[in-house]
Amino acid sequence: MSFSLVKRWCESPLIRRVLQFKVYRRKIQSYNMTYTLLRHRWMKRLPMFSSSVMVSTQTDKDTIDLSKFPVDRIRNFCIIAHIDHGKSTLADRLLEMTGAIATTEKNKQVLDKLQVERERGITVKAQTASLVYSHQGQQYLLNLIDTPGHVDFSYEVSRSISACQGVLLIVDANQGIQAQTVANFYLAFEAQLAIIPVINKIDLKNADPERVETQIEKAFDIPREECIRISAKLGTNVDKVLQAVVDRIPAPVASTDDPFKALVFDSNFDHYRGVVANIAVFGGRVKKGDRIVSAYLGKTYDVNELGLLRPDEHPTQKLFAGQVGYIIAGMKDVKEAQIGDTLYLQEQPVEALPGFKPAKAMVFAGMYPMDQSEYPGLRSAIERLTLNDSSVTVQRDSSMALGAGWRLGFLGLLHMEVFNQRLEQEYNASVIVTAPTVPYKAVLSSPKLIKEHGSEEITIVNPAQFPDRSVVSEYLEPMVLGTILSPDTYTGKIMSLCLNRRGIQKNMVYIDDQRVMMKYLFPLNEIVVDFYDLLKSLSSGYASFDYENAGYQAADLIKMNILLNGQPVEELITIVHRGRAYSTGKAMCERLKDSIPRQMFEVAVQAAIGSKVIARETIKAYRKNVLAKCYGGDITRKMKLLKKQAEGKKKMRRIGNIEVPKDAFINVLKRKDK
């Protein structure tokens, strides 16, 4: 899912940071991997199983016998890297090299075929790639689990990481450690995974692997000897990576003796075969013809087909504990293959796996159809998109200016933009997306309100529902721990930007003689809109940023109203930190001033806290607005223009006697375009 988000993203030249994603576009093979969402802790809980199954000698693709891969010859790993450090290229090489072990030519064909597939516009969903690798006379099944690269998807990264026992941590030999490298490293480190540092792009002219090794040693406390220097592009030393996967990463913990138990971690729809569910087998085995039950729906299905993803579907007779693959069982609707569902054999019911906790949305934004007549279309588009992206939360909302819509919760800004982009491109829906807000909390003091809400602490997603100070003992705002890596020449500028954003410095280390790593505790609200863009621009693109959630903190929050000639505008209510009220209010007034057309009378645009006006802009009245000449030959053009204005007028929102075009709200509410 997230993968296709990324792909979409790449296709829009309008979106910033696009360059960082280009690499995904070119490297189709990596698309074919999905994140297996196995949870290693469950596996660990299971008793260790030593294989009694004999290794068969044949490795012909069509008759692959999975029973010859006991758990101890399975490795689950993922590749983590900062954007553009070469994760996809390495994945390509791993696929090629392991494919080459079976048949060299066929392997090549597989890749070519995929390329064509993509060129024809067939959606190639993110897939898991199971690699068969011979090492010291033994055959290993290596499950490569792809992870998204961006900060927003760190949730996905951590899900992927938790499915693995080890990671390849890739660092660009030229750029060195970046913010995401750090963030991803800690995710892996905390999950106690085996970490294999890989220094990529050693073929580049400016490559400085020595320096990167120093950085790795310093930042991650990993001995430099453990680093593998490679060029994924040229294939240099990639074989060493495969060896390291087998040698340094432990096998998963699962047992084929247990009853069959599998987790659905992804699904897609095939017109001819119905739902294709991607599963991770946690225990036992499953084969064609088995009757399986969906724990979520209680429905029974016959297994029609199953197999490995290599990365294309590769049918097999059975799937065994510890393995990852796909299953087709006559499910007609994607909804039947609920992601996170547990499958088991009809005659051997098991306790359902906990499934996936819904991703916690940290960035909220209103989404409205450009035109209310597009509401039903947009609704179905959102439904279809959220089906495969359970991390998006959907709540109906309505705005006086923008009509009926939704308040959607996203994992982060990129996630939001990608979602929006997909809506527009795949579903041809024109969408208004309001500026992102974060979920605030309020600790209520009024017993009556506490009773009403059923709890003392409430979460406020819509600023219009912000409770008054008088009934609240404390407001809380979400915090993040941000990591910034940058050449030290920009340190001063970055520190003042962070200070400006209410950031509190937690840490600052030089990871080599020029690069500095800073850790800041930020209110999420402060980084959610334009922080990243500013950071990038003030560091000429050299600084990188990543963040992780860091709970809630008490904050002095206030509700700010925007008034037009004294009339409050409900959709522009904003929750701000007291210290930022003036600058935010001023900026909003300025943006409104620029986007509300001049009227026949003067308009005061004000930001107010309670009854106190803190900022004001004035839109001067029109003094002359009439076309100089209009004769017979001018009518057609004039009518066209006026009719367009009249159409626009129908969509305007009246506040008092002021006509405000929807664009004005959009300009104020939406993210600032760079």
Partner 1 sequence: MIKHTLHAARRAFSPGLRRFSETSGGDISEDVFEREGPPRLTKQASLYVHWPYCLRRCSYCNFNKYIPKENNDPIMTECLQRETETLLQLSQVSCITSVFFGGGTPSLAHPSTIAAVLESVSRRAYLSDKAEVTLEVNPTPVGKSKLEDYCRAGVNRFSIGVQSLQDGDLEILGRDHSSHQALQTVEEARRLCPGRVSVDVMFGRPKQSAESWENELSELLRVCDYHVSLYQLTLERGTQLFKQVLGGEVTMPAEDVTAEMYQCARRTLHQHGFLQYEVSNFARHKAVSHHNTSYWKGRQYIGVGPGAHGRFIPFGDGGVVREARTQTLEPDVWLREVQERGHGTRRRIQLSHLELLEEVLVMGMRMSEGINHKHWEWFSPQLGLHEVFGTSSNVQELLQSGQLILDDRGLRCSWDGLALLDSMLPALLVILERQISQRLQRDHTTRISNPK
Of 650 and 674, which CB lies nearer to partner 1 in the complex structure?
A: 650
What's the Cα-to-Cα distance from 484 to each of 9, 80, 188, rounded to whole Å?
24, 18, 19
Residues 138, 291, 646, 672: which binds partner 1 (CB under 8 A)? Answer: 646
CB of 644 to partner 1, least distance (A): 9
Of 612 and 624, which CB lies nearer to partner 1 in the complex structure?
A: 624
Judged by CB under 8 A, the stretch of 191-199, 290-298, 513-521, 628-636 that binds partner 1 is: 628-636
Within 8 A by CB and 6+ apart from 637, the residues are: none
Residues 120, 396, 629, 674: which binds partner 1 (CB under 8 A)? Answer: 629
**Does residue 121 interact with partner 1 by CB under 8 A?**
no
Judged by CB under 8 A, the stretch of 50-58, 78-86, 325-333, 630-638 that binds partner 1 is: 630-638
Residue type, position 246, single letter: V
CB of 657 to partner 1, least distance (A): 6
Of 458 and 658, which CB lies nearer to partner 1 in the complex structure?
A: 658
Residues 272, 351, 633, 674: which binds partner 1 (CB under 8 A)? Answer: 633
Of 510 and 622, which CB lies nearer to partner 1 in the complex structure?
A: 622
From CA 28, how far away is CA 73, in angstroms rounded?
A: 28
What's the Cα-to-Cα distance from 159 to each of 35, 78, 154, 250, rounded to whole Å?
8, 11, 8, 18
CB of 436 to partner 1, least distance (A): 33
Residues 448, 624, 673, 674: which binds partner 1 (CB under 8 A)? Answer: 624
From CA 21, how far away is CA 25, in angstroms rounded?
A: 7
Of 53 and 635, which CB lies nearer to partner 1 in the complex structure?
A: 635
CB of 630 to partner 1, least distance (A): 6
**Does residue 640 interact with partner 1 by CB under 8 A?**
no
Judged by CB under 8 A, the stretch of 76-84, 130-138, 177-185, 647-655 that binds partner 1 is: 647-655
CB of 600 to partner 1, least distance (A): 5
What count of Cα atoms within 13 Å lies in the side-chain half-sphere of residue 609? 18
Judged by CB under 8 A, the stretch of 211-219, 253-261, 463-471, 619-627 that binds partner 1 is: 619-627
Within 8 A by CB and 6+ apart from 63, the residues are: none
From CA 272, how far away is CA 270, in angstroms rounded?
A: 6
CB of 125 to partner 1, least distance (A): 47
Q: What torsion do the CA atoms of 235, 241, 243, 246 make, to the nearest 10 degrees?
A: -140
From CA 122, how far away is CA 110, in angstroms rounded?
A: 15
- By CB neighbour count within 10 A (0-12 exposed, 13-18 middle, 19+ buried), where does 120 fall? exposed
Q: Which two tokens stand for residue 130?
A: 């199971």
Residues 471, 499, 554, 642: which binds partner 1 (CB under 8 A)? Answer: 642
Of 65 and 663, which CB lies nearer to partner 1 in the complex structure?
A: 663
Residue type, position 586, single letter: K
From CA 461, how far away is CA 466, in angstroms rounded?
A: 8
CB of 589 to partner 1, least distance (A): 21
Give the residue carrying structure tokens 């020029």. 514
Of 291 and 649, which CB lies nearer to partner 1 in the complex structure?
A: 649
For the chain, the 3-state helix, strand and coil shares in percent, each to the nearest 5, are 35, 30, 35
Residues 600, 602, 610, 618: which binds partner 1 (CB under 8 A)? Answer: 600
CB of 471 to partner 1, least distance (A): 38
Within 8 A by CB and 6+ apart from 269, the residues are: 275, 276, 334
CB of 116 to partner 1, least distance (A): 46
Judging by DSSP bridges, how do beta strands 138-145 and 228-229 pair with one another?
Answer: unpaired
- Read off the DSSP letter of residue 120: T
**Does residue 638 interact with partner 1 by CB under 8 A?**
yes
Cis link prior to 252 (omega < 30° from 0)? Answer: no
Residues 104, 115, 398, 657: which binds partner 1 (CB under 8 A)? Answer: 657
Q: List the strands of the sheet with 228-229, edge to edge.
A: 129-135, 138-145, 74-81, 166-172, 194-200, 228-229
CB of 368 to partner 1, least distance (A): 22
Residues 315, 377, 648, 661: which binds partner 1 (CB under 8 A)? Answer: 648
The neighbouring-strand residues paired with 507 are: 519
| Gap between the terminal Cα atoms of the chain | 27
Cis link prior to 311 (omega < 30° from 0)? Answer: yes
Residue type, position 86, single letter: G
Question: If DSSP codes are grouped into helix, strand and coil, which group holds residue 20?
Answer: helix
CB of 604 to partner 1, least distance (A): 17
Judging by DSSP bridges, how do beta strands 300-302 and 305-309 pair with one another?
Answer: unpaired
Contact, 408 vs 355, CB < 8 A?
no
Of 499 and 642, which CB lies nearer to partner 1 in the complex structure?
A: 642
- Residues 193 to 232: which contact partner 1 by CB under 8 A? none
Residue 486 belongs to what H/E stretch?
strand 472-487
Residues 643, 660, 666, 668: which binds partner 1 (CB under 8 A)? Answer: 643
Q: Which two tokens stand for residue 513?
A: 């003689």
CB of 402 to partner 1, least distance (A): 20
CB of 645 to partner 1, least distance (A): 4
Residues 48, 504, 509, 627: which binds partner 1 (CB under 8 A)? Answer: 627
CB of 628 to partner 1, least distance (A): 4
**Does residue 332 interact with partner 1 by CB under 8 A?**
no
- Residues 363 to 402: which contact partner 1 by CB under 8 A? none
What count of Cα atoms within 13 Å lies in the side-chain half-sphere of residue 583? 7
Of 487 and 648, which CB lies nearer to partner 1 in the complex structure?
A: 648
Encoded one letter per residue, x for contact with partner 1 by CB under 8 A and - for no contact, window 580-599 reads: -------------------x
The site for partner 1 (CB under 8 A) is made up of 599-601, 620, 622-633, 635-636, 638-639, 642-643, 645-646, 648-650, 657
